[in-house]
Amino acid sequence: MNEAVIATRGLTRDFVRRTRSGRLLRDRTVVRAVDELTVTISAGESVGYIGANGAGKSTTIKMLVGILVPTAGEVRTCGLDPLRQRRQLAHEVGVVFGQRSQLWWDLPVRESFSILAAIHRLARARAREREAELVEHLEMADYLDTPGRQLSLGQRMRAEVAAALLHTPRLVILDEPTIGLDVLSKQRLRDFLLAERRVHGTTLLLTTHDMGDIERLCDRVLVVDHGRLAYQGSLDGLARTVGAERVLTVDLAEPVADLTDVPRTRHLGSEGNGIRQRLAFDAEATTAGSVLAEVGRRAEIRDLTIEEPDIEDVVRRIYQSQR
């Protein structure tokens, strides 16, 4: 059952950049966008693919779906060769590029959907049923008759997702799906993707800069840096690998001196003469419970919050440790 939906081995892509030097001569520089990437993603998984701009995320995606020819290495998507079997693969994969549109700008959204249904050769009844499902879950009913060019960003993004998922693909790849969306639209889109996965067992691969996307949607992350895989595993594991700290904030009953002597913690600061104090600790070295117990011995705790490590910070640390 756990077949690989995406399998790459040593996947590499170079770009040749030519820059003018002198009157006739041109310099030829090879830029390696993806460097010997070896990953496997199983059916039903949801994987976040993260990295800085220009780290090679889009290039990887384009090789997975047969847009770009790899310079070296192997790639199989849904068990198919994306180059030789691109058209067959198109029936299995749905791709949302945040910056590209699948919709016809001068046609009502509804018409774009019927064209796409014809393109994927969906039977009338099947297409109608699926369209109704998507319209309901993505709350698109009130703008189905609006031409593509008049949609707001949030509306367009939902319509793009529906367009890519109309043929119920086994694998859905989303490139920056929530970019520029407000909190509510993001939430709606994430809820939809979760439901889609639950109902259809869809495999998800998404690139994003939004760590909320990763936290809500993904059970595994791949971190890519300069075309190389810098980390793969769970999100917690990522935080652990780079030793990100959790932060405990305590509100105390009365002002006390700075709590600099709590074992295995670092005092970050105090407010209101020491009524509120912030302590950082490594989840590997100690537990929230024992830190609290230590603090409780020194003063009466009235309230507390624990902040999880900031994922963007974690990723930044990965980059730094690789240099």
Partner 1 sequence: MAESLAPALDQGAGMPPTRLAAYRAVLSSRIRAQRSYRANFYTDLAGSFLIGFIELAEVWILFHNVHALGGLTFRNILLVFGIADLAFSVAQMVFGHVDRMPTFLRAGTLDVFYLRPQPVLLQVITSEIGLRRLARALVGLGSLAVGLSLNQIHWSWANAVLLLVTILSATAVHSAMLVWAGGVQFFLVNGAEMTNAFVYGGRYAATQVASVWSAPLKVLFGFVFPMAVTAYVPALHLLGLPGPAWLPTWLAWWTPVFALWMWGLALFTWRQGIRHYQGGGG
Q: What's the token pair of residue 186?
A: 């993001």
In whole angstroms, the minimum distance from the beta carbon of 82 to partner 1 comes to 10
Nearest to partner 1 of 43, 115 (CB atom) = 115
Nearest to partner 1 of 97, 231 (CB atom) = 97
In whole angstroms, the minimum distance from the beta carbon of 70 to partner 1 comes to 12
Query: Residue written as tokens 């690989």?
Result: 4
Return d(Cα 185, Cα 196) in angstroms, integer: 16
Nearest to partner 1 of 90, 157 (CB atom) = 90
- Parallel, antiparallel or unpaired: strands 265-271 and 276-282: antiparallel
Nearest to partner 1 of 100, 198 (CB atom) = 100
Amino acid at the residue 251 = D
Of 28, 8, 9, which Cα lies nearest the Cα of 18?
28
**Residues 6+ away with beta carbon under 8 Å from 40:** 4, 6, 7, 8
Helix, strand, or coil (residue 98): coil
Nearest to partner 1 of 93, 295 (CB atom) = 93
In whole angstroms, the minimum distance from the beta carbon of 118 to partner 1 comes to 4
In whole angstroms, the minimum distance from the beta carbon of 43 to partner 1 comes to 20
Q: Cβ of 305: how many Cβ atoms within 10 Å?
A: 10
DSSP assigned state of 21: -
In whole angstroms, the minimum distance from the beta carbon of 126 to partner 1 comes to 8
Return d(Cα 286, Cα 78) in angstroms, integer: 43
Amino acid at the residue 187 = Q
In whole angstroms, the minimum distance from the beta carbon of 186 to partner 1 comes to 20
Return d(Cα 108, Cα 79) in angstroms, integer: 35
36 φ, ψ (degrees, to nearest 5):
45, 55
Nearest to partner 1 of 123, 184 (CB atom) = 123
Return d(Cα 278, Cα 313) in angstroms, integer: 18
Question: Angle CA(269)–CA(211)–CA(143) in degrees, nearest 5?
Answer: 130
In whole angstroms, the minimum distance from the beta carbon of 95 to partner 1 comes to 5
As a whole number of angstroms, the longest Cα–Cα distance in the chain is 78
Nearest to partner 1 of 42, 88 (CB atom) = 88
In whole angstroms, the minimum distance from the beta carbon of 153 to partner 1 comes to 16
Nearest to partner 1 of 23, 100 (CB atom) = 100
In whole angstroms, the minimum distance from the beta carbon of 212 to partner 1 comes to 22
Site residues, partner 1 (CB under 8 A):
15, 58-59, 62, 65-69, 86-88, 90-91, 93, 95, 97, 99-102, 104, 106-107, 111, 114-115, 117-125
In 38-101, DSSP assigns E strands to 40-42, 46-50, 72-77, 93-97
Is 259 in contact with 310 (CB distance < 8 Å)? Answer: no
Nearest to partner 1 of 100, 297 (CB atom) = 100
